[in-house]
Amino acid sequence: MPKKKEVKKKKKNLGGQPRRFKTPKDLDRSFREYVKWVDDNPWYKNEPIKSGDLAGEIMKVPTQRPYTLTGFAAFCGVCLQTIENYGDRRKYPEYFGVYNIMNTTFTAQKFEGAAVGAFNPHIIARDLGLRDKQDHEVKIVDDNALDLDELKNMSEEDINRAVFDKLREWRDNESGSSKNKKR
């Protein structure tokens, strides 16, 4: 009796294209290639020469390019969502470590670049979700303010009348105080 051939079952593709990065090492290799490419290919900005015989001439000055997930995705020829998916520890646990190192590297390079003036600090702060938080408390003290508890029990017509009366009172007080300032 002839032997049956063993048939290897192929894993089904549940949708989408085949993975661009077959292993975490592939992702890491592409990440390192991207960083090298960014470092080897700076942006050039046009700066006028300010003094000397060439004053007024435009000179191309190389400037550092920031590392970004968007730039990395474009470099690899995949959409940004593909790269961000590797940051989901539950769906891609084997890729999460590489993604985390990439993201940390990108954040550190942008932050440090902004700190030393290589990048616009306002743009980088916005990109990194940083902001200078200041709490402002405004307290309006007015002995003649409308009482909200009273307003709850008033009809719409009575509320409108009370608001109108307050506005007229405030206007009259303002015009009286501006007359005093002119004197």
Query: Could you report the per-residue pLDDT of 2-43, keeping only the tens digit for each?
Result: 666 666 655 555 566 778 899 999 999 999 999 999 999 999
Statement: 24-127 belongs to CATH 2.40.30.10 = no
Query: Could you report the per-residue pLDDT of 107-161, keeping only the tens digit for each?
Result: 999 989 888 988 888 888 888 887 766 666 666 566 666 676 777 787 878 777 8
Which string of DSSP letters, residue by residue, matches 55-91?
TT-EEEEEEPPPP-HHHHHHHHTS-HHHHHHTT-TTT
CA distance 105 to 67: 8
Average pLDDT, the chain: 83
Q: What is the pLDDT of residue 141?
A: 61
In terms of residues, how long is the chain?
Answer: 183
**CA dihedral of 168, 171, 172, 176, whole degrees rounded to 10:** 180
